[in-house]
Amino acid sequence: MDPLHDDGTEHALRAVFDAAGPYLASLADRPVYSGSSEVKSLGGELPAVGSGAASVVDKLLSVGTSSATHSAGPRFFHFVTGGVTPAALAADWTVSLLDQNAFSRAASEFATSVETVALSWLTSLFGLPSSFGGALVGSATFANFTALGAATHWWASRHGVDVAAAGLAGLPRMPVFSGGYVHASARKALQMLGHGRESVSVHGSGRVDLSSLDRALASSGPAVVIANAGEVNAGDFDPLADLAALVSRHDAWLHVDGAFGLFAALSPRTAHLVAGLAQADSIACDGHKWLNVPYESGFAFLREPARLGAAFGMPGAPYLPGADSPRGGYGLLGPESSRRARSLPIWATLAAYGRSGYQAMVERHLDLAQELASLVDAAPDLERLAEVPLCIVCFRVRPPGVPESQLDDLNRRVGEALLDDGRVFAGTTVYEGRVALRPAIVNWRTTSRDVQLFVSVVRELAAALR
């Protein structure tokens, strides 16, 4: 069917709307996952003719609302996965309705202007000076990529090379330093940028070892330091202020990976964890985690945002505006060119809930993490493995009488059983050599009831596995 002859638009959109209410209402009680057997019905041969929007969207909704992982609900504690606020959800529908290309002002003055507002509200939310700027990207991986791309451009310029034009060939290896908390996605960014993921030299097994880093920087020449604000196993932080002071004594670029940890800035209870952030040269953060906007959403901030155009502009194509042209825009300030207007859900959720709404949500999550930690501490068959500075609780199952040598295996099987059971989701990790669970609480829907259910399901499954 030629889309020109498809009269199913209204039916299809109404079907999404009609499905949304019951689906969203079901999230509070349904399991996170109960199988995807129906998804097979979406396969088969590519239709030769096609059946039009109305029937196709009915089918997609029927399969999707049953087969999806209901990670938008309150009990998906795996990874660090946020949900979607009401304002962000409706604004994300609007993104597709308007189908803007947020590449440049020439393509969409509207999307470019909203992105400028969204970025300035985000920097204000995190307490950064208004001189910080950046670009919205698809994820914290891309935010790390964008920031480390700008860092690479800075570093090469210290060697007299414009790396955007000439590439890395002929340059020495770029020295990159971090502590033990460096995230796999920062390594992936370095791998994509041509430095290799093994280019990171790690100082310290957990938090960065400042004196060892100081010695390394003294002899490395210009270098890049990656600080970690919010480590994924237990939520710990590198000492940002001390690190910033140290880096300022050397010829080095300080990048902060704060994919979710940046939100510590929103509460006076945790703001000390990100003290010193404003001295960073670049910062990476996620929107689809603690901001609770839909995938794909991240942001990179730079202390000197003009550096992005030098690293990511595409000069020389006669039909394109330049990075600093009045018709230019964010497509020339980051890795993507054509891009969706991912600023709209960010703008809408910040406009709808404001600074105080986000502070309240973050503080509720801090309280829930402490509640979860207390439930773990009170249970004779559970053992907490780390402090809980933020929103992650790292613990393991440890029933009395089970020898240490069997605990890793037991905890691994509990992790698998949780995913098969589906009532609550969490993943395992290895923390200080021990297999552990690490539920993370960043979804606006999560309540005390969900945290209590999580602990009782873990204990029930662990008891059944022994």
Ligand X SMILES: *Cc1c(COP(=O)(O)O)cnc(C)c1O
Binding residues (CB under 6 A) for ligand X: these are 80, 139-141, 183, 185, 230, 232, 257, 259-260, 286, 298
Q: Which of 69, 61, 81 is nearest to 20 (CA)?
A: 61
* Closest approach of ligand X to the CB of residue 187, in Å: 10
* Closest approach of ligand X to the CB of residue 112, in Å: 23
* Closest approach of ligand X to the CB of residue 144, in Å: 6
Buried b (16+ CB within 10 A) or exposed e, 123-140: bebbebeeebbbbbbbbb
The residue (of 303 and 438) whose beta carbon lies closer to ligand X is: 438
Q: Is 111 exposed, middle or buried (0-12, 13-18, 19+ CB in 10 A)?
A: buried
The residue (of 52 and 239) whose beta carbon lies closer to ligand X is: 239
* Closest approach of ligand X to the CB of residue 134, in Å: 16
The residue (of 112 and 141) whose beta carbon lies closer to ligand X is: 141
The residue (of 238 and 257) whose beta carbon lies closer to ligand X is: 257
Tokens 């099987």 belong to: 413
The residue (of 259 and 393) whose beta carbon lies closer to ligand X is: 259
DSSP, residue by residue, 148-203: HHHHHHHHHHHTT--HHHH-STTS-PPPEEE-TT--HHHHHHHHHTTS-GGGEEE-
The residue (of 234 and 462) whose beta carbon lies closer to ligand X is: 234
Q: Tokens standing for 178?
A: 């971090």
The residue (of 79 and 110) whose beta carbon lies closer to ligand X is: 79
Can you tell me the distance from the alpha carbon of 332 to that of 310, in angstroms, rounded to the nearest whole number?
A: 9
| Inter-residue contact 298 to 138 (CB < 8 Å) | yes
Can you tell me the distance from the alpha carbon of 124 to that of 86, in angstroms, rounded to the nearest whole number?
A: 22
* Closest approach of ligand X to the CB of residue 287, in Å: 9
* Closest approach of ligand X to the CB of residue 295, in Å: 8
CA distances from 124 to 138, 268, 461 (A): 21, 15, 44
Q: Tokens standing for 259?
A: 């994919």
* Closest approach of ligand X to the CB of residue 342, in Å: 13
